[in-house]
Amino acid sequence: MTNERILTDEMVAEITAYFPRYPSRQAVTLPALHIVNERLRHVPLQAVVEVAELLDLSPAQVQDTLTFYGFFKQDEPHGRVRAWVCRSISCHLRGADELFEHICHKAGVEPGGTTADGALTLEFGECLGACEFAPCVLANETLHKCVTNEQADAFVESLK
């Protein structure tokens, strides 16, 4: 692990801007992790150390919170697009499992994996709160609704 600073001045400024919102520094943990994750697409250990320093916490406290959420990757960045294929009941009933298998095959990745070109990370998600559009996929900020295999193909192609 290198000890070069990971948090840029902008990130630090963004994080500290959250301080007045909460009566405790620790409450800024999730906002800070999101700020780092948005930029780096993962939150490496060195960033955890630096966030902890900013929040007057021990790195273990930040790491503890971070690992509770399966959300933040630490070892390597996720793809430029991170897509969740919903597997919960309403989507399951409308073919989510088959859709997920199809997209994995089309993109050439294992569940949870990232394509070799770093374009796409493909994961299961639990109910995305868009069950009227089952089966659905949330890819970064875009919700893909009532996704057919053809639409899924077009989506994977569009990332190339």
Among 99, 136, 137, 152, binds ligand FES (CB under 6 A): 136
Q: Fill in the per-residue mask, 32 to 51: x = in contact with another protein (CB under 8 A), - = not in contact.
A: -xx-----------------
Residue range at the interface with ligand FES (CB under 6 A); choices 56-64, 69-77, 88-96, 147-155: 88-96
Task: Name the DSSP class of 115.
Answer: -
Closest CB 98 distance from ligand FES, rounded Å: 14
Q: Taking the CA of residue 62 as centre, how many other CA atoms within 13 Å lie in the half-sphere pointing to its CB?
A: 29
> From the list 19, 65, 77, 106, which residue makes contact with another protein (rule: CB under 8 A)?
65
**Is 12 a residue that touches ligand FES (CB under 6 A)?**
no
For residues 50-76, b (16+ Cβ closer than 10 Å) or e, as one string? bbbebbebebebbbebbeeeeebbeee
The binder of 69, among ligand FES, another protein, none, by C-beta within 5 to 8 A per type, is another protein
Is 137 one of the binding residues for ligand FES (CB under 6 A)?
A: no
Tokens of 3: 């000890």
Does the footprint of another protein cover residue 16 (CB under 8 A)?
no
| Alpha-carbon distances, residue 102 vs 106, 108, 109, 140 (angstroms) | 6, 10, 10, 19
The total number of residues shown for the chain amounts to 160
